[in-house]
Amino acid sequence: MTKRRWWSGALVWAGVGTALVGVADVGFSRAQQAAPPAGQRGAAAPRTLQPGELELQSSRVYVFVGKTGLGHDHGIEGRLRSGQLNLGAKEKAGRLEFDLRTFVADTAAARQYVGLGGQTDRKTADKVTANMQSAAVLDVARFPIATFDLASIVALPRQGNQPQQYQLTGDFTLHGVKRQIRFNAQGEPVQGFVRLRGNFSLRQTDFGITPYSQALGAVGVADQLTIHGDLYVMAGEAAENTAPSAAAKPEASPPARRK
């Protein structure tokens, strides 16, 4: 499938919309994963989370994919396969694995989180999702996982009553290409977890991806993407692997609505 078919079917989905493929603004947001029906055979038994482990049911990645010309902005929602963050560590601070096969275009949660109004019909969104995962773009058959290997997560000086800020530094690998990134995130206590939210921007061309365009550039995808992360990190002593209750989760603080 060519890139041209992928973008046209997706209303020019601002490139790599779901794959972190161009980078985006990291910020992880929450969304519940359906639990297996009671008594269902093969249902995984609850396990114990160790300090620093991610609660995967509630942790999310959202990507803002911008447009150029007459294209359309998009929001992408994805999950992590695994994660360990050693908050405050100055070396070997952990690793995040993003499961690109779970990234979905224009969910209601993703559009809201990245500050987009309106909705995209499911048929169009499904086509965008299928095409972005194809060999022409993310090629998830060959590269199903993107990773962030953290060298350090340094706690920054507190500013009054503001949430604790951390500076994260490490290597982000996508589609076989590694780039160092550094960004700040804030952590807040939530029912035995630290809710860590931050973001970073990357360019598609840094990962060997050419931003889509057509009609002599009148319609296309921005090179820079923004990835938002909303992560729940186990704090303190080990605890049963149960998602933070809805009442315990503060509402997400998405960017201001984009025009």
- What are the structural domains of the chain? 12-31+48-228 (2.40.128.110)
Please, which pLDDT band fits residue 159 given cuts at 50, 70 and 90?
confident
| pTM beyond cutoff 0.95 | no
Number of residues written out for the chain? 259
> Which value, to the nearest 10 degrees, does the dihedral of the CA atoms of residues 129, 132, 138, 140 take?
40
Q: Residue 9 — φ and ψ, nearest 5°?
A: -65, -25
Sign of CA dihedral 150, 195, 31, 183: negative
Q: Is the pLDDT of residue 4 over 60?
A: no
| In 105-195, alpha helices (H) | 108-113, 122-132
Please, which pLDDT band fits residue 15 given cuts at 50, 70 and 90?
very low
Q: Report the amino acid identity of residue 154.
A: V
Q: Is the pLDDT of residue 46 over 60?
A: yes
Q: Give the per-residue pLDDT at 85.
A: 97
Q: Give the per-residue pLDDT at 195.
A: 97
